[in-house]
Structure 1
Amino acid sequence: MLDSIKAYLRIDGDQDDGLLSLLIESAKAYLRNAGVDESEKHLYKLAVIMIVTHWYENREQVTGSTPRNLPLGIKSIILQMGLGE
């Protein structure tokens, strides 16, 4: 999954591997808490990639700026998976 996300984000090198690994595990936990079981299905993988991308690209949230909610597309995927596809 790490290689897929790095390719999606167009990240070369390994300087952010620790952060990305943390974000991947956190995205999986987020989905689990939303009632979505881990899966090898493409929709699940897309949800993880989209969540990680959102969190990676919006890291300024921790600096005190206005937080951004997850995009509607991610919420829609979570809803679909939670209802059993």
Structure 2
Amino acid sequence: MSFTSSLTLNIPFQLQNQASIALKTLSVDPILRPDDAKVSYLISYISNCHYLHIDLYAISDRVLRVLANNIIASLKTIVECFDEF
């Protein structure tokens, strides 16, 4: 099946360690339907900022929206944890 929908999220972090923790935390969550969606992660350093790049691919806009919502909710929890500690 072909992925017809895609989305790229670029999340800035002040520290490389934070971006790395976010990547490791998000990447352990399996895609429930791997035939319907795919996610890839990459960390880069641009202009004194570390970015977590998240590329999302899905078979439909609906699947992409659900996938993006889940990742954003997880990112929110990760950032809240950073703020607490």
Asked if Structure 1 and Structure 2 have the same fold, meaning a TM-score greater than 0.5 normalized by the shorter chain, the answer is no
Q: Greater relative contact order (Cα 8 A, min sep 6): structure 1 or 2?
A: 2
Query: What TM-score range do you get, normalising by the shorter chain?
Result: 0.3 to 0.5
TM-score by length of 2: 0.37
TM-score by length of 1: 0.37
More helix by share: 1
